[in-house]
Amino acid sequence: MTRGDDLRRIDIVEACAALEEVRRSRGTVNEEILIRAAERLLEIIGEASTNCSQQLKDQHPDVDWAGIAGLRVVLAHHYHRTQPELIWQFASVEAPALRTSLES
């Protein structure tokens, strides 16, 4: 079954919301577990973003679609190169902006 743009947009928005919860948990839970949770949510965001139609992407030109896809590739295939500070940067700044863009 193929997921359409509406479901993929929901996947991205929900993953961004969950990523915010993970980010808020920093300092209260094992950091290694949190970074792995954040990475998985970013993989979901990246996979859903990669499969969105060009029409949806054109409706949200403020979103760095290529950058999100590239992050997913790094997380999935070059996991040993990930940098936790960049994961938290995305979680703190870019994921909330992405969520806001796709909710509008």
Long-range contacts of the stretch 60-68 (C-beta < 8 A, 24+)? 60/101, 60/102, 62/97, 62/101, 63/98, 63/101, 63/102, 64/94, 68/98
Catalytic residue among 77, 78, 80, 81: 77
Residue in 8, 23, 72, 99 annotated catalytic: 72
23 in catalytic set: no
Active site residue 77: yes
Residues tagged active-site: 72, 77
